[in-house]
Structure formats: C-alpha cells, structure tokens
Structure 1
Amino acid sequence: MSTTDTGTKTITLPGEALDPYVTHPPTRHWLTGPGLPTDSGLFTFEALREDGHGVGPRTVAASTGNPAGLAADLRDHLVIGALRDPAGLETESILLDGATGEVSTSCLFDDRPDLMERLPLAPSLAALTDFAAATEEMAARRGRFASYEGRFGPKAVKGMTRHLLALFEEGADGEVPPFWRMAALIRPLALVAGPPADAALALDLPGRLLDEEFGQGRVVRFEDVDFPAALAHEPTRRFLRETGLPEDGVLFHLDTDVPLPTLAEYYEDERPDVFTADQLPAHSDRLIRLGHLIEDNSLVVDGTTGAILDWREPDATLYALNTDVSTLAFTLWLLHRERTIDESLSHELTEDAYDHLATTMTQTLATVDPTVSTPRGEWHYWTQMFQDEAGGVL
C-alpha cells in the first residue's frame, strides 16, 4: 500500500507494490526511498495512493475502458500522476516506464485509445523532481535563483531563462523535453514586470515595454478628454494616459473611436437591436468598453474599482478577466511574446506539444494575476483561448 510521509509531504511505495511492472533499479529506489511529492503547483501524484483498485500504481491498460485498442508500448506503462492547471484541474496523465525509468505524459482516451500519444517529460523520476523544484525556485527567486530576488525586467528574464535552460540540459543530457523547454522560455516572462512602488496597480511594466514589443505607433495612449466621467479610478486613467494599450493585441482589439463609451452607451448607440438596457448588468453605466475580444466578448473596465471584466454576449454574463489594466497589458504582451518566440523557433512550441504550451501559458499568467486561477468549471476567457488548439491562438 502507498504511504504518505506527512512531515515531508511525499508518497513512497513498498517494493512489493512495484512488482511486476517496475524493474528499473534506480526507479524502484526512488519510489521506495525519496518518493514523490503528494502535490505541487505543477503536478499531483495522488494516483499513487491506494484508491480501491488494488495495491500499487495502475497500468495504462487497467486505467482505460478499452485496453484492446492501446498501442503495445503503452499497455504496461504506469499512471503515476497528472499535470495540473492553476485551478487544480488535472490535465494530462503522467506515465512511468517501469523498465527504463523514463517519464512521459499522455491524455487517456477511453473511447479512442488508439489516439493516445506519449510526450517525453523527464528521463527519470529524480530529474522530474529536480526540474519541478528548479521551476518553483525560479518563480519564487529562492534556492538556485536567490540572486534574482528584487530583480525584474527584460535582463532578469533573459538571465533566468539561460539559467533554467542550463539546469534542464544538464539533467536531460542536452535533450530537454518540450514541457521544460517551454518552462524555461515562457515561465520567466512573468518577472518582466515588478510590483509598483505605490501599489496602485498590480504591476509596474518597464518603460516602453509595449512599444518595443508591438512597434512604434501600435500602442494607443489616451487623453483625459477620451475618458467618460464614469472612469473615476485614477490609477487606470493614469495607466491609459502614460503606458497605453496595444491597438491590436492578438485576441483583443482596442476601440480607437473616442471617447470611450460605457457599456450602456455602446449598446444604445451601436447595437440597440442586440441588448436593451434592462438586459445589461445593473451597473453598465459605470462599465467602460475598452474594446472587443474574439468570440463575441467585450473587454470592459469597472470605472470605480479598475477591475477588468469580460462581457460575454452568448450568455449575457460578466466574468472576471484581469485584476486591473496593468495585468491586462501584461497578458497582451505575453501572448505576443510567445508568438514571437515560437516563430523564432520555427513553431517548435506549438507543433511539438500544444497542450503543454497551453498549461505553461496559464501557469505563467496565474503567477502575476490570481484572476486566472478561477474555480473549477467557471469560464475564464484567457485560459479557454489558450486551450483552443484548433483556433491557433498560441
């Protein structure tokens, strides 16, 4: 039976629970000795607990409803855990090759097991544990990344990327799996902006960051005459005046017709046949429409609090989108930066492992904006769009 060491929050297994599928000596030693973390921001290994299906980890064949359709090289792999998104949802399963110790991921399809494919995750459990620890240390600027404490901006991001990639290359003999390559290239981007001195907004974006990313003339800055009286939140007004927003932000298109309308004014003047006043939110006269998102969504800012919201036309509901205008600007910058990185690598990120990229982007955004970590089942525009592989968002 699996046992949990509550002091160190790890799961270990007795040797007999690994028979007959785990024959690789270093892997047996790791599972019976150091063990695996019960839970972390990236993974969960709850599958190693006894769950009523018998003692020890289950094979892929025992975990799917149609084992006859499985590829031969998948049947005896063990399901030991799963990747997690910021909301705690399990995404892809983590598989262990008991003969070689290699770790991979796959989506388990009960109805179409023939479509299951493995993506490499780590050459060993030891490497997997170390890679996860290094990523967490980078995000928290501690341990091997303690020297970056208090450092933000593009130079710090480049340094952390090089450092993290070097650690992964050393642990994987130069063949860094896609998940960790993405972690090295994308996760440090969360540290391009630091906290502002006056804490009026969540982030202090480096000067000219948006101009350098989107190009001169592609970032719109507003004047006070452009703001309706309903936009009373001064930090938001100041950000829109001094920093601005990109006119075309991949998934977001800024309204350049000024002055900016409230949501109530927008539907009254531009689309009176879509919603009447009584169908809009009760406080629509203080919601200022900044622009539109694809898939019939409007991006609005609460003129009183500065919160950024998604007005979703299909279900006529307001949803949280970003904490404030600074994290909105970071989101648009992150999307554009990811595309630029992917193009420079001949689209390796999107072609190699799109699901891994979507998870990495969501984790990165959640680092700076807690709005992204929505409760299970609740709509959140950015995370839904990141996952839209067919739409080619990333």
Structure 2
Amino acid sequence: MSRTDTAVGVIRLTEDQLDPYVTHAPTRHRLTGPGLPSDGALLTFTALRTRGLRTVAQSTDADDPDLPTELRDRLVIGELLAPAGMDPESILLDGGTGEISTAYLFELMDSRPLAPSLEVLVRFATVTEELADLRGQFASYAGRHGTKAAAEASRRLLALFEEGTDGRVPPYWKAAALIRPLALAAGPGTDSGLTLDVPARLLDEEFGHGRVARYEDVDFPSTLTHEPTRRFLRETGLPEQTVLFRLDTEVPLQTLAEYAADDRPGTASPFELPARADHLIRLGHLVEDNSLVVDGATGEVLNWSEPEARLYPLNTDVSTLAFTLWLHHRERTIDRALSHELSTEAYDQLAATMLQVLTSIDPTATATTTAADWHYWTQAFQDEPGGVL
C-alpha cells in the first residue's frame, strides 16, 4: 500500500514498494520524494492509494494470449477522469524508462503516449487545471472573454506542452490545448439574462452572416413569453444548419402541438404529446427523429424524442444551445485544419474533452451527465462511427 500525506493530498511510496517494479532513477525519486497528487480535476491516482503498484498483467488476465507483451509489465498507477457514461482510461508507467501512457484495461490491444515522465504529467495536469480555474499562469484571463482570448490561451497552453515533449504533443494534451480554451469564447450572462452573453458576431464569424437566422416578434407564438429568449432570438439568433441540427426556417415558429398537427395532415395528433405542448416552441430538428424545443415560459431548451414520446433536458437556455452548436462547429474546423489528427488518433479523448468543456459552461449538461441520464449532446459527441466530431 502507498502512504498518503493527507494534509497535502500527496501519495508517496517507499523504496521497498518500488522494488522490483521501478528501476528508473528519476521516477523512483519522484515517487518517494515529491510524490503524486492524490486527486485532481483530470487525473486520479486512486490505484496507487488503494492497491499500490501493480502490473497490467496483475490487474487483468495474465494468461490472456491477446495481452501485448510490451504492456504486461507496465504499472497501473491511475486513471484519466472521464465524463459520466464514458469508460476511464488507465494511466500506465514504464518502470524502466519512466514514460507514461494510457490504455483501456478491458481491451488491451494498444497504448497511447501521455507524457515522457511523471514530472511532466503532473505539470501538464496542473497548468490545464489553472486554465480551467483561470488562476496561476492563466490568472490574467479572468474576466476576459471572446475568440481572441480563447486563441491566446490556446497558443499559450500548447507552447507549454511543446516545451515538455520536444514539440511532439500527445493527442490528449493537444486536444486540451486546442479545445479547452474555447470555453472563454463567451462570457457569463450579465447582460442577456441568460447563462451566457453570446455576441452575435461569434455566430456570424463561425457560420457566416447569411447562415444565422434571427427572428422578429411576429415570428413568435403567443406562448413564447420568456423575454431573454425572445431577445436572444431577435438579436443573436441561431445557425440555420449544423451537422446535428437544422432550424425551422420555412414556416414561422410553431408550438409542438401545432407542429404535430401540421407535419402530418389529416392527423390531429400523430404522436403522443407532452403536457403543455402549446407552451413548447419547436426551434428545429435534431437527427434521428428528435425535435429541439424551448419552454416558452422558462426558456429551458429540451429534446423531444418522437419515438419515445419523451422530453429530455438539452441545454439550460438558448445561449448555451448556441454555444454548443458553435463549439461543435469550431472543433470540426480545428480538426479539419489538422487533417483530422485529433478525431483519428484519439477520438474518445477528444469526445471527453468536448464534454468537459460543455459541462463547464452549461449546468444542464453537468446535471444530466452526472445523473447518468440520457443526454443528446453527450451521446452524439461519443458517436465515433458516425464521425460526429
């Protein structure tokens, strides 16, 4: 077992505990001296705290003929924290070289590089957490928002990662540097009355001015009474079409009850409707027979599943909906500029990063995913066969 300094949350091992697993001198010094943080926002070393050092072979089926030889003796020291519903990757240590990699213990066919050493791993995790909290090396970004601030923070974080890897940044950290700073693009909703203040130019610059729809008061059903939502749809608007969403632009906005009647002429109610269907305004279409609706009284954005005849939470309001659509489009643009490096080399790590950014700006996404309930964006971002990211 490891010994933990509970006062500072540090895990340290004794020299005897390292034998015969760890022969790399700098790694031995790190584990017996400074140690490792017991928990963090990105990594956890619970495996060391509860079980001590164990090899991959000891942690899995040692007789499995499919277990790669090069992984058998690597040491399982922790996990990458993953959003609810996603399997965590184990963090592996090469006791002879000190190199750190990741792998899924339930399908040990390959591993991916994470850091050249424990020291670099801890440093990378620390600066990434500083970005999320806008402290330490990123304290100067507190109160700054917009695409310029996001781009500057991204370049700064990527440069820090390049310093520790001779320019060969592992996919997990490259995704962190390119995606996590995007949370800075919109500020808290001090003016809009919504969760976020999303500048109209943010959507115009990303999707094109002619591809963002804005509404007039005559377009709103009488039951859309939530004024911050009305103002956002008038002044900021929503993109007409993305990979996962298509706005209704051919007809004025309808309530879900009106849509149900009009979409299939001659049928008063083609599918079971939820309560207050005349207060749910349909904004558009999500793939696989899902409608995106907004509660006219509260501004809450919901996913209406026609096959299930069920409402699911989607976004807190139209500001976080717009940001989600922007975030997804921006990620695809970034990945395309990298010749799809992120989505082909580490799709799962990219999906986890996207979801962590989304939950950092939208309380609904956080509440839904932690409750392990079904959530449209959570499921969509993980759809690797569908190439959503």
- The reply to whether TM is greater than 0.5 is yes
Match for residue 94 of structure 1?
A: 91
Residue 315 of structure 1 deviates from its aligned partner by: 2.7
Match for residue 81 of structure 1?
A: 78
1:247 to 210, 224, 240: 240
Match for residue 387 of structure 2?
A: 392
Change beyond 3 A, Cα 1:82–1:207? same
The amino acid of 1:370's aligned partner reads P
Match for residue 231 of structure 1?
A: 224
Structure 2: gaps (5+ residues): none
- CA distance, structure 2, for counterparts of residue 163 and residue 88 of structure 1: 31
The amino acid of 1:352's aligned partner reads E
For residues 250-278 of structure 1, the C-alpha deviation after alignment (integer angstroms, 9 at most, x for no partner) is 21111113321111221122148999489
Q: Does 1:63 align with 2:56?
A: no
Change beyond 3 A, Cα 1:274–1:100? farther
The amino acid of 2:189's aligned partner reads P
Residue 152 of structure 1 deviates from its aligned partner by: 0.8
Asked if the contact 1:220–1:245 (Cα under 8 Å) also holds between the matched residues in 2, the reply is: yes
Structure 1: gaps (5+ residues): none
- CA distance, structure 1, for counterparts of residue 100 and residue 37 of structure 2: 15
Asked if the contact 2:381–2:388 (Cα under 8 Å) also holds between the matched residues in 1, the reply is: yes
Q: How many percent identity over aligned positions?
A: 66
Q: Does 1:269 align with 2:262?
A: yes
Match for residue 17 of structure 2?
A: 17
- CA distance, structure 2, for counterparts of residue 273 and residue 354 of structure 1: 45
Q: 140-149 or 56-65: which moved more?
A: 56-65
Match for residue 168 of structure 2?
A: 175
1:382 to 368, 377, 381: 377
Asked if the contact 2:190–2:196 (Cα under 8 Å) also holds between the matched residues in 1, the reply is: no
2:354 to 361, 365, 368: 361
Match for residue 189 of structure 2?
A: 196
- CA distance, structure 1, for counterparts of residue 376 and residue 328 of structure 2: 13
Residue 19 of structure 1 deviates from its aligned partner by: 2.2
Change beyond 3 A, Cα 1:31–1:295? farther
Change beyond 3 A, Cα 1:243–1:191? same
Match for residue 32 of structure 1?
A: 32
- CA distance, structure 2, for counterparts of residue 12 and residue 177 of structure 1: 26
Give runs of aligned pairs for residues 296-311 of structure 1, distance below 5 A: 296-311=289-304
- CA distance, structure 1, for counterparts of residue 218 and residue 249 of structure 2: 13
Asked if the contact 1:105–1:120 (Cα under 8 Å) also holds between the matched residues in 2, the reply is: yes
State the aligned residue count.
386
Match for residue 107 of structure 1?
A: 104
Asked if the contact 1:67–1:75 (Cα under 8 Å) also holds between the matched residues in 2, the reply is: no
Residue 280 of structure 1 deviates from its aligned partner by: 2.2
Residue 376 of structure 1 deviates from its aligned partner by: 4.5
Asked if the contact 1:248–1:254 (Cα under 8 Å) also holds between the matched residues in 2, the reply is: yes
Q: Does 1:147 align with 2:140?
A: yes
Asked if the contact 2:212–2:240 (Cα under 8 Å) also holds between the matched residues in 1, the reply is: yes
- CA distance, structure 1, for counterparts of residue 308 and residue 55 of structure 2: 42
Asked if the contact 1:94–1:103 (Cα under 8 Å) also holds between the matched residues in 2, the reply is: yes
Change beyond 3 A, Cα 1:154–1:278? closer
- CA distance, structure 1, for counterparts of residue 70 and residue 332 of structure 2: 34
The amino acid of 2:100's aligned partner reads V
For residues 53-110 of structure 1, the C-alpha deviation after alignment (integer angstroms, 9 at most, x for no partner) is xxx222111222353321110101111111222448652111111111111111222x
